[in-house]
Amino acid sequence: MIIKNLSSKGFRNFSGLEFSPAENMNVIYGDNAHGKTNLLEAIWLFCGAKSFRGAKDSELIGFGQQKAVNSCDFIFGEVEKNAKIIIEDKRKAELNGKMLSSASKLAGNFYAIVFSPTDLNLVNDGPAVRRRFLDTAIGQLYPIYNEKLRSYMKAVNQRNTILRDLKFHSDMEFLLDDFEASLAVNIKDILKYRYRYVEILKEILPEIYGGISGEREILDIEYSSPISKDLPVENIAEILKLSRKEDFITGNTSVGPHRDDLDLCLNGAKVKNFGSQGQKRSVCLALKLSEAKVLKKITGEYPIALLDDVMSELDQNRQNFILNHIKDWQVFITCCDPSNIKGLKNGTVFEMKGGNFCNITVK
Ligand SMILES: Nc1ncnc2c1ncn2[C@@H]1O[C@H](COP(=O)(O)OP(=O)(O)O)[C@@H](O)[C@H]1O
Ligand SMILES: [Mg+2]
């Protein structure tokens, strides 16, 4: 994947930005609050996903503007394409001049990974962030997974409602039998994607970790769930039934993919409990870069890498790894401290001021 041109009008603080990035490393440099993250956000939206900052669509329209229009020429599968996103009262998207039924349908037509400072908590935070990592990665590869996940979450919420209602109508417990039988099918389906994704990640992660950290420790990853990979649907339904007693009390479903986690170990010891700060950061970075490699392995296409403001959080060795070892793909890095990019050997630096570029330097 390579972005050739991007234009943005009425999006955040862009009144009419025109951007023709280099095919390799692009550094977006500038003081705070000038629009660096806005630019990465604009690129990310072409994946068909929501803003990685969790912003609502209405917040993306420039102050005092009626609508935002972003247009991107890019190469995908060696073919030049164009995607357009129009954010008005609703978000709409076009691909090669044809309106899509919804903007989320851009998924699968444009690939990117995003790494921002919150991702440096991928190891330290609770399981929800690691599940989100998995779900974003899988959803980009297989857009249908997003729909499956939505219906699974809806089914979990329905089971919770039934559980809570049973407090008043305990004679209705039989309702759960059929419901759990179909929920078990959903669970099996989601787990199939998750286990398979982690299997592929396992092949890629250790090498990338070694490259970043320069260490010889072995990084291993496992999908952690009380429901094992090959467990038949009937047994999953049985597990749900067995958990009813506990779930009645809490009113929540205690087993299923919405409770699972990823285990990350260095030489067999859990990184979360035993890793140093530096090791944890390397693992987070390795996870994100592996996400890109998995995409490449499965689709044949390298995603765009969007690295937002992470350089100042990393030591010089890790900075240099990012600046000079991510080859063969297009990278966008934002930073505001010039010392963070002094190790850059090959790339273009775009200085951003007030939502526009004021300086472009090729190294
Ligand atoms: N909807 C919007 N309309 C106009 N300006 C906006 C909007 N949303 C954010 N901004 C402006 O964008 C700037 C922040 O951009 P950002 O990309 O986060 O900065 P940074 O360069 O630090 O990454 C701020 O000046 C903010 O006022
Ligand atoms: Mg920023």
Say yes or no: 153 and 261 in one domain.
yes
Say yes or no: 285 and 172 in one domain.
yes
Instruction: Give, as one character, the DSSP assignment of residue 353.
Output: E
For ligand 1, pick from 34, 38, 311, 336 the residue to mutate: most ligand atoms within 8 Å of CB. 38
Which of 265, 283, 300 marks a domain boundary?
300
Q: Give me the residues of the chain with pLDDT under 50, please.
A: none
Instruction: Give, as one character, the DSSP assignment of residue 251.
Output: T
CA-nearest residue for atom 25, ligand 1, is 33
Say yes or no: 309 and 278 in one domain.
no
Say yes or no: 168 and 107 in one domain.
no
The whole-number pLDDT of residue 340 equals: 86
- The SS3 of residue 29 is strand
Q: Is 355 in the pocket of ligand 1 (CB under 6 A)?
A: no
Say yes or no: 165 and 99 in one domain.
no
Say yes or no: 306 and 296 in one domain.
no
Say yes or no: 19 and 157 in one domain.
no
Read off the CATH number of the domain in which 269 is found.
Answer: 1.20.1050.90
The rounded Å distance from CA 59 to ligand 2 centre is 16
The whole-number pLDDT of residue 104 equals: 93
Say yes or no: 26 and 158 in one domain.
no
Report the alpha-carbon distance of residue 176 to residue 189 in Å, rounded.
20
Say yes or no: 62 and 103 in one domain.
yes
Say yes or no: 319 and 296 in one domain.
no
When divided into structural domains, the chain yields a total of 2
Read off the CATH number of the domain in which 27 is found.
Answer: 3.40.50.300
Q: Is 28 in the pocket of ligand 1 (CB under 6 A)?
A: no
Q: Which domain holds residue 355?
A: 1-111+302-363
Give the tens place of pLDDT for each residue, 145-188. 999 999 999 999 999 999 999 888 888 888 899 999 999 999 99
Which of 300, 317, 340 marks a domain boundary?
300
Type of residue found at 157:
N
CB contact burial 156-185 (16+ within 10 A = b; e otherwise): beebeebbeebeeeeeeeeebeebbeebbe
The rounded Å distance from CA 235 to ligand 2 centre is 48
Say yes or no: 35 and 93 in one domain.
yes
The whole-number pLDDT of residue 167 equals: 84
Cβ count near 304 (within 10 Å): 26
For ligand 1, pick from 8, 9, 11, 12 the residue to mutate: most ligand atoms within 8 Å of CB. 12
- The SS3 of residue 253 is coil
Structure-token pair, residue 269: 């010891």
Which of 300, 316, 344 marks a domain boundary?
300
Type of residue found at 38:
N
Going by C-alpha positions, the residue among 203, 220, 331 that lies closest to residue 270 is 220
Cβ count near 213 (within 10 Å): 21
* Ligand 1: nearest atom to the Cα of 32: 22
Say yes or no: 131 and 103 in one domain.
no
